[in-house]
Structure 1
């Protein structure tokens, strides 16, 4: 099987030439265009998620040999969550080579965070099946790059920190309220308010509820000092 010019260029962007091009073809094929003769990337996504997790767990243990499990867990979650995968996918322009059905394409599928995150995991699995764990790990570590070294300071879960702050002062767990939602269905924008029991609150806006909640919690933490 020969790859298209676009997929050959994508190989250059991820730094891996496929001995089995069919694996890459499958990794970029969304369920919206699958058929009896064309497999989609869902099974590869399942595998890629596990490969990514093992690579990141190993990298974190090697990067900080004194960190506790409690310190490592939020760092790990920050590196493997769909948002992180989607960010990497955007950097390598994975959306440009995705094979999508007409409805997905018309609704902005090439920019959807969940779809990009899933496809990134599928690409990881494709490299793993094509050339083994070491090749997949090398690609992951290169594409994730400085994120692994920055995560210690960036990955502290703001919602957890806010909850700990409130409970230490005898308050109930903070609540998160959706203030507004705007934008088209394929690219919504959420404004969320993080609110303490005493009524103190802060708002933040982001492209997903999770991001908006984290940003609101962070803003509230800064507000209360």
Structure 2
């Protein structure tokens, strides 16, 4: 039986990003959502990658930040949060390579913070299995640099920019809340609020929950960034 393989485009993207690709089945799993119905998906790799990321960021912060234990813990939590992982996934181009079932794709899972955050960690877990901790730590330091240094990068996806701004200013991660959904399914409108504790909050609308969150993040950065 032929082992599952990646598309040439996905393999090229992984290698160009800095991942070490040997066993294509591992990487295919890391990019596969449970909605595909396939037995193997990203869940176990996400569990592993979460631990790898936590150690890599903890070691990094210990080396560069002389803050107290409590302050380090707060900053660590922001940098390994679902939001930061999702924003990092967008930055490196994960959405274009996700393997989703039709319903999940139609529901916007390719831009879901939950899905993207999990897949980002799964990719780190896969890299750990393929290349070990040292190589994966180096990769984390490469793709988490802007988040750690707090560079906003306004050309970035607005949610990425807001997450990095919050982490760089030692604020808690942004909190998004769906306030309202109105209109028929074919032209629904969503209202979302984004809040950063100790700073403020902003509301915005969009044609999907994800679009409203993006608009809210952009409005927040315009007002407070």
| Superposition TM-score, scaled by structure 1 size | 0.71
Partner of 1:148: 148
CA contact (8 A) 2:33 2:41 kept: yes
Q: CA deviation at 1:99?
A: 0.7
Q: CA deviation at 1:132?
A: 0.6
Separation (CA, whole Å) in 2 of partners of 1:45 and 1:130: 15
> Which 5+ residue runs of structure 2 have no aligned equivalent?
151-163, 205-211
- SS at 2:202's partner residue? strand
- SS at 2:180's partner residue? strand
Separation (CA, whole Å) in 1 of partners of 2:124 and 2:21: 12
Q: CA deviation at 1:7?
A: 1.2
Separation (CA, whole Å) in 2 of partners of 1:110 and 1:135: 27
Separation (CA, whole Å) in 2 of partners of 1:80 and 1:24: 21
Instruction: Give the greater-gyration-radius structure (CA).
Output: 1
- Please tell me whether residue 132 in structure 1 is matched to residue 132 in structure 2: yes
State the 4+ residue runs in structure 1 displaced beyond 2 angstroms. Answer: 149-153, 155-159, 178-184, 186-189, 191-194, 205-208
The 5-angstrom pairing of residues 1-225 of structure 1 reads: 2-35=5-38, 38-64=39-65, 66-150=66-150, 153-157=168-172, 180-182=179-181, 189-191=191-193, 203-205=201-203
Separation (CA, whole Å) in 1 of partners of 2:97 and 2:178: 36
Separation (CA, whole Å) in 2 of partners of 1:126 and 1:204: 37
| Superposition TM-score, scaled by structure 2 size | 0.71
Q: 1:193 to 1:139 in 2, by over 3 A?
A: closer
The worse-fitting range, judged by mean Cα deviation, of 128-137 and 13-22 is: 13-22
Separation (CA, whole Å) in 2 of partners of 1:115 and 1:28: 10
Q: 1:193 to 1:122 in 2, by over 3 A?
A: closer
CA contact (8 A) 1:182 1:189 kept: yes
Separation (CA, whole Å) in 1 of partners of 2:31 and 2:104: 14
